[in-house]
Amino acid sequence: MLIFDNTANFQSMLNNFPKNIIPKVSLHTIGCRLNQAETAIIAGGLKKRGFEIVEFGQPADLTVINTCTVTGQADAKSRKAVRQSIRTNPEAFIAVIGCYSQMAADEISRIKGIDLIIGTEHKFQIADYLNGLHKRTEPLIINTPEISKGEFVIETSGLCSANTRANLKIQDGCSFVCSFCIIAKARGPARSRKFRDILAEAEKLAQTGYKEIVLTGVNIGTYNSEGKQFTDVLAALENTAGLERIRISSIEPTTVDKNLIDCIAASNKICRHLHIPLQSGDDDILESMRRKHTADEFKEIMEYAADTIPNIGLGTDVMVGYPDESEEQFMNTKNLLNNLPVSYFHVFTYSDRKGTSAYKLKPKVDHHVKKYRNRILIELGNREKYNFYKSFLGKELDVLFEEKVKDKWSGLSDNYMRIKAKSNLDLHNKICTVRLNEIDKDTLIGELV
């Protein structure tokens, strides 16, 4: 459903505020790094139009909640955030945007106190629908099932909260349509951001002071714009003055080839880190999931990355409890993980999503069996991560420090390890060499060299 609204001019809205009073906006993100990137873009646009950005939960004239619908739990988190906002700021104009808004606008509209609901296609035009920030008796819904298929540009640079790493959106949507995933419907088909537009934002972010950018999207390895591929984006970003790190976010295995890995190996800026989702180590399950790779193909590319790039951090995602997953098929996944050069992995328990083809598959795996399998893989993942961290004890790594937590500065190595070190100096947004001495849970503790 698409409802248009003849809103007042945005500047007229700002003029309604008393002189010397700046309207305040708080923004909150549920979900993935791409959502975080988009919230930053919206924040940048609102700030450019005269808003002051305040922390979520603080008094504000406008609250924007960017939602997620990847799982039922994500839907619940989105609703909880909306209700929390209404309780905290009952007089604020409440705007709910993003993937959950795209898929369940009518459901969201039943929450009293919401003023605006915007789906995927129009969320960046939020300023056009603010109605002078006057509360509504019923929410305005801006939504359409048709999502653009062409290349896109983004007019505003992202406004990220921490001045160390910035998310840079280069792509949106997915055309792979895995059987368990609703995101292809929520975000539409794969499409790429125009090449020059990416470079322009990267330059602005570097000039602002960001040392690292994280390339984000739904399926970034499928990037294709103006004859440029994903590796062309990486090559061009290497020439961005002031930028010291380029990090690749989650990337599908069928888009990771030896050419990309060789590109990372030869680079001085691309982080030695790849997160490549596996989902299952059983070929029959992979086929049912409509994944485009086999277990052996996945193993081959992971081993090539580990052999080609010394000390690379390799992560993955796996799912347990997919419909009709047998004990043998689960063990195939466990055994594959046990033989992969992974430094960490995330374990997800399958949950039904209406609108996906897996929703109709039977039989379903018993809840207690899913819980057991989840625990087994989490324990394996913890051991793999500990062993990876242990291999760096006594070695030195460069760390981009973000913030001071108690008496230690905390930051990330390029291969995606959380590292802390004591210092009386201001290390925020600085890259320093650290000698690694001990492991504390999921963190390495070291000293500045």
In sequence order, the 6+-apart residues with CB closer than 8 A to the CB of 169 are: 34, 37, 38, 41, 154, 158, 193, 216, 217
Which CATH number fits the domain that encloses residue 420? 2.40.50.140
Q: Does a structural domain hold residue 147?
A: no
End-of-domain residue from the set 386, 409, 431: 386
Q: Are residues 173 and 295 in the same domain?
A: yes
Residue 282 and residue 368 in one domain: yes
* Residue 242 in this model has a pLDDT that exceeds 50: yes
Residues 123 and 170 in one domain: no
What average pLDDT score do residues 5-15 get? 50
| Digit-coded pLDDT (tens) for 157-184 | 776 666 689 999 999 999 999 999 999 9
Query: What is the structure's pLDDT at 13?
Result: 55
pLDDT score, position 6? 41
Identify any residues that bridge with 413 across adjacent strands, giving them in sequence order: 399
Identify the pLDDT of residue 310: 96
pLDDT tens-place string over residues 196-224: 999 999 999 999 999 999 999 999 999 99
Q: Looking at the structure, tell me whether residues 265 and 169 fall in a common domain.
A: yes
- Domain identity same for 174 and 280: yes
Say what the pLDDT of residue 21 is: 76
Confidence of residue 338 (pLDDT cuts 50, 70, 90): very high
Question: Residue 125: which CATH number?
Answer: 3.40.50.12160
Residue 274 lies in a domain: yes
Residue 148 falls inside a structural domain: no
User: Is residue 2 in a domain?
Assistant: no
Asked whether residue 78 carries a pLDDT value surpassing 60, the answer given is: yes
Tell me: pLDDT of 320 over 90. yes
Residue 152 belongs to a domain: no
| 182 shares its domain with 322 | yes
Given this model, what pLDDT does residue 3 score? 44
Total structural domains within the chain: 3
Same-domain status, 435 and 376: no
- Tens of pLDDT, residue by residue over 262-292, are 999 999 999 999 999 999 999 999 999 999 9
Mean pLDDT of the chain: 93
Each residue's pLDDT tens digit, 389-424: 999 999 999 999 999 989 999 999 999 999 999 999
Q: What is the mean pLDDT of residues 342-347?
A: 98
Domain check: are 323 and 378 in the same one?
A: yes
| Residues 381, 286 share a domain | yes
Q: Are residues 312 and 186 in the same domain?
A: yes
The upper half-sphere exposure of residue 51, i.e. CA atoms within 13 Å in the direction of its Cβ, equals: 26
417 and 376 inside one domain: no
Domain match, 316 and 434 both? no
In a domain, 436, yes or no: yes
Q: Within a domain: residue 254?
A: yes
Domain assignment of residue 415, given as a range: 396-448
Dihedral angle, C-alpha 386, 388, 393, 397, nearest 10 ° = -130
Q: Is residue 160 part of a domain?
A: no
pLDDT in tens, 80-121: 999 999 999 999 999 999 999 999 999 999 999 999 999 999
**Whether residue 11 has pLDDT greater than 60:** no
pLDDT band at residue 123 using 50, 70 and 90 as cut-offs:
very high
CATH code, domain with 248: 3.80.30.20
The pTM of this model reads: 0.92
